[in-house]
């Protein structure tokens, strides 16, 4: 089962989620709504997957 | 005539015209318009094979490649693909699928100049994946994805593994290959350990029996071309690839073949993508595909799956039902049917009917099913008078026969590949009537009356 975390795009404010492996992978995320690349820390939210 | 996608569609048009919808109006697959049309049809309860004759490509220009969607969105069409009559599309088809899983048919190698898929060959700077009508399906999808089988060859033993893998368009000669399933991942990791690029091929369209055969539950080390021949009912015709020649054979009767290399240690972002659960798969890192050659037929068709919808679910259902039925029969011979319903995405739930002779059998079968098919999260066991292919009857059993205090078992701390609200749990529900306490009998119309009263005598 994949563990996820939610992010919010700093540019368009669109929300999407990522696998936890991306939390500290050192790569920029890509917003699916506006294609903006951004650092994880700048978009981090606190919601997680159900356990 | 060797089997290919075009010949199958010709047969459907001729013999089952209601099963196919030709869309002539221009449509933009990369702007969610194909999935919008399929969703409108779905909302009307219609799931025809849909051929988009004038799709736009990723440059928003006319594409030369008609787009074929929804081919697997009916069990009856899957039966036809396997050469069975449509009325044998229930458990009978699944058992035939399991039978063919055991057989092997040697592929046939043919020269490049006779291979249909080599009618057009593009290499190097001539390659531009934007010419294809690659769909973007759901609102949060990161990009446009191909959703067809991919092929890798084991570097040690030389067998070919064929598995559905989605690939996201990235650049004119670059994709991201979402290699998640264990067989291809294992082959890829072998190359990575040697720090070598891994040859990788995706085929965009073939006869549906080829695609169904690629889903057979074979073990690692099996040569999938041989197994697929068993489903086609004839040898898979292969031809040398453009990039590796005879060292990597590709299906000669495919519509489109994309050849490329997965460089070791390179990952790029892909997803979100609307997956089989009906949820988005999260954004993550996956290997990159550097495309080296693209070959296709003149008048090639581009085939796709409407992921997370009926066709995708049915594709999961058929390969598992037959082998699960056979496995459960070995444990308890009075199992009468097995069905993986599309409401469980064709993977996560199974309904098992059994002629129960003693208590405890249902849960034993539930545990066996969950072990046999690791993707399963729910196992529901019903009596043999419940038709597991009619969900209304299964729900009737759940509502009237289940005492949650004794009939529902939650197995904690087990692995589930796909994320659902169950998390790390699986559930077994015994929805059979109890034998050890007084319990009402199910109503029925007398058999003699049913035999005596013919519907046609009264309605004509």
B416:A18 CB<8 A? no
> Which residues, 6 or more positions from B329, have their beta carbon under 8 angstroms from its beta carbon?
B335
Cα–Cα distance, B165 to B163 (Å, whole number): 6
Asked if residue B294 lies in contact with residue B321, where contact means CB atoms within 8 angstroms, the answer is no
Q: Tokens in use for B186?
A: 């294992």
Virtual CA dihedral for B11, B132, A29, A42, nearest 10 degrees?
-110
> Which residues, 6 or more positions from B210, have their beta carbon under 8 angstroms from its beta carbon?
B3, B149, B228, B231, B232, B236, B251, B253
B285:A2 CB<8 A? no
Nearest Cβ partner for A2 among B140, B141, B419: B419
Report the residue of chain B nearest A40, measured CA to CA. B283
Q: Give the three-state DSSP class for B107.
A: coil
Is the minimum CB–CB distance between A24 and chain B shorter than 8 Å? no
A16:B280 CB<8 A? yes
Nearest residue to B166 via CA among B64, B65, B79, B287: B287
Task: Please list every residue in chain A whose beta carbon sits closer than 8 Å to the beta carbon of residue B416.
Answer: 1
Asked if residue A17 lies in contact with residue A4, where contact means CB atoms within 8 angstroms, the answer is yes
pLDDT in tens, A14-28: 999 999 999 999 999
Q: What is the pLDDT of residue B3?
A: 95
Supply φ then ψ for residue B259, to 5 degrees: -105, 140
Indicate if the alpha-carbon torsion angle B81, B84, B90, B95 is positive or negative. negative
A48 — pLDDT class (breaks 50, 70, 90) = low
Task: Please list every residue in chain A whose beta carbon sits closer than 8 Å to the beta carbon of residue B424.
Answer: 1, 51
Q: What is the pLDDT of residue A36?
A: 97
Residue B274: count other Cβ atoms within 10 Å of its Cβ: 23
Q: Mind giving me the DSSP string for B27-47? A: B-GGGTHHHHHHHHHHHTT--
Nearest Cβ partner for A19 among B282, B415, B417: B282
A30:B141 CB<8 A? no
Q: Give the three-state DSSP class for B395.
A: helix
A17:B281 CB<8 A? no
Does residue A46 carry a pLDDT above 90? no
Q: What is the pLDDT of residue A49?
A: 52
Three-state secondary structure readout of B244-287: CEEEEEEECCCCEEEEEEECCCCEEEECCEECCCCCEECEEEEE
Cα–Cα distance, B103 to B317 (Å, whole number): 20
Cα–Cα distance, B24 to B7 (Å, whole number): 20
Is the minimum CB–CB distance between A17 and chain B shorter than 8 Å? yes
Cα–Cα distance, B18 to B347 (Å, whole number): 28
> For residue B405, with 0-12 CB atoms within 10 Å meaning exposed, 13-18 middle and 19 or more buried, which class applies?
exposed
Per-residue model confidence as pLDDT tens for chain B (460 residues): 899 999 999 999 999 999 999 999 999 999 999 999 999 999 999 999 999 999 999 999 999 999 999 999 999 999 999 999 999 999 999 999 999 999 999 999 999 999 999 999 999 999 999 999 999 999 999 999 999 999 999 999 999 999 999 999 999 999 999 998 889 999 999 999 999 999 999 999 999 999 999 999 899 999 999 999 999 999 999 999 999 999 999 999 999 999 999 999 999 999 999 999 999 999 999 999 999 999 999 999 999 999 999 999 999 999 999 989 999 999 999 999 999 999 999 999 999 999 999 999 999 999 999 999 889 999 999 999 999 999 999 999 999 999 999 999 999 999 888 888 898 999 999 999 999 999 999 999 999 999 999 999 998 7
Report the residue of chain A nearest B143, measured CA to CA. A32
- Before B272, cis peptide (omega within 30)? yes
Asked if residue B81 lies in contact with residue B209, where contact means CB atoms within 8 angstroms, the answer is yes
Q: What is the pLDDT of residue B300?
A: 98
Task: Please list every residue in chain B whose beta carbon sits closer than 8 Å to the beta carbon of residue A50.
Answer: 421, 423
Task: Please list every residue in chain B whose beta carbon sits closer than 8 Å to the beta carbon of residue A21.
Answer: 284-285
Residue B428: count other Cβ atoms within 10 Å of its Cβ: 21
Nearest Cβ partner for B284 among A18, A28, A32: A18
A51 — pLDDT class (breaks 50, 70, 90) = very low
Nearest Cβ partner for A21 among B284, B417, B418: B284
Residue B102: count other Cβ atoms within 10 Å of its Cβ: 11
Q: What is the pLDDT of residue B215?
A: 92
Is the minimum CB–CB distance between A26 and chain B shorter than 8 Å? no
Q: What is the ipTM of this complex?
A: 0.92
Q: What is the pLDDT of residue B415?
A: 87
Is the minimum CB–CB distance between A19 and chain B shorter than 8 Å? yes
Is the minimum CB–CB distance between A9 and chain B shorter than 8 Å? no
Cα–Cα distance, B309 to B187 (Å, whole number): 29
> Hey, of A32, A35, A43, A51, which one would you mutate to test binding to chain B, going by the most B CBs within 10 A of its CB?
A32
Does residue A50 carry a pLDDT above 70? no
> Which residues, 6 or more positions from B250, have their beta carbon under 8 angstroms from its beta carbon?
B117, B151, B201, B203, B238, B239, B240, B241, B257, B259, B295
């Amino acid at each position: 089962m994949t563990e996820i975390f939610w992010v919010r795009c700093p540019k368009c404010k669109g929300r999407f989620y990522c696998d936890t492996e991306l939390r500290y992978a050192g790569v920029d995320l890509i917003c699916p709504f506006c294609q903006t690349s951004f650092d994880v820390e700048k978009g981090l939210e606190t919601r997680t997957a159900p356990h | 005539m060797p089997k290919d996608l075009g010949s199958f569609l010709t047969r459907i048009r001729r013999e089952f015209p209601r099963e196919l919808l030709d869309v002539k109006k221009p449509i933009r697959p990369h702007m969610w318009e194909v999935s919008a049309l399929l969703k409108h049809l779905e909302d009307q309860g219609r799931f025809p094979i849909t051929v988009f004759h004038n799709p736009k490509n990723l440059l928003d220009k006319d594409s030369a490649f008609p787009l074929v969607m929804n081919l697997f969105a009916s069990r009856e069409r899957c039966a036809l693909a396997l050469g069975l009559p449509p009325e044998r599309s229930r458990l009978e088809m699944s058992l035939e699928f399991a039978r063919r899983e055991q057989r092997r048919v040697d592929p046939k190698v043919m020269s490049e100049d006779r291979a249909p898929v080599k009618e057009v060959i593009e290499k190097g700077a001539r390659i531009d994946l934007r010419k294809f009508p690659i769909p973007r399906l759901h609102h949060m999808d990161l990009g446009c994805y191909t959703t067809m089988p991919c092929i890798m060859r084991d570097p040690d033993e030389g067998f070919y593994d064929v598995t559905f893998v989605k690939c996201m368009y990235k650049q004119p000669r670059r994709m991201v290959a979402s290699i998640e399933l264990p067989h291809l991942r294992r082959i890829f990791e072998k190359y990575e350990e040697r720090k070598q690029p891994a040859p990788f091929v995706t085929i965009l369209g073939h006869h549906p029996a080829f695609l169904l055969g690629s889903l057979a539950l074979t073990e690692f080390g099996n040569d999938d071309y041989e197994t697929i021949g068993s489903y086609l009912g004839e040898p898979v015709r292969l031809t040398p690839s453009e990039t590796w020649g005879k060292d990597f054979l590709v299906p000669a009767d495919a519509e489109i073949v994309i050849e490329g290399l997965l460089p070791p240690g390179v990952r790029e972002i892909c997803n979100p993508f609307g997956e089989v659960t009906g949820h988005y798969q999260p954004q993550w890192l996956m290997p990159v595909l550097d495309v080296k050659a693209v070959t296709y037929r003149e008048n090639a068709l581009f085939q796709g799956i409407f992921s997370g919808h009926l066709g995708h679910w049915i594709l999961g259902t058929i390969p598992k039902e037959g082998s699960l039925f056979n496995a459960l029969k070995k444990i308890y011979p009075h199992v009468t049917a097995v069905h993986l319903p599309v409401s469980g995405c064709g993977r996560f739930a199974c309904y098992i009917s059994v002629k129960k002779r003693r208590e405890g059998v249902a849960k034993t079968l539930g545990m066996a099913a969950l072990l046999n098919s690791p993707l399963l999260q729910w196992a529901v066991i019903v009596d043999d008078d419940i038709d597991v292919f009619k969900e209304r009857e299964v729900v009737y059993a759940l509502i009237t026969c289940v005492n949650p205090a004794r009939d529902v078992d939650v197995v904690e701390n087990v692995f589930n590949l796909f994320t659902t609200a169950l998390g790390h749990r699986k559930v077994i529900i015994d929805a059979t009537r109890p034998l050890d306490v007084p319990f009402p009998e199910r109503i029925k119309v007398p058999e003699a009356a049913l035999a005596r009263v013919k519907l046609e005598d009264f309605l004509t």
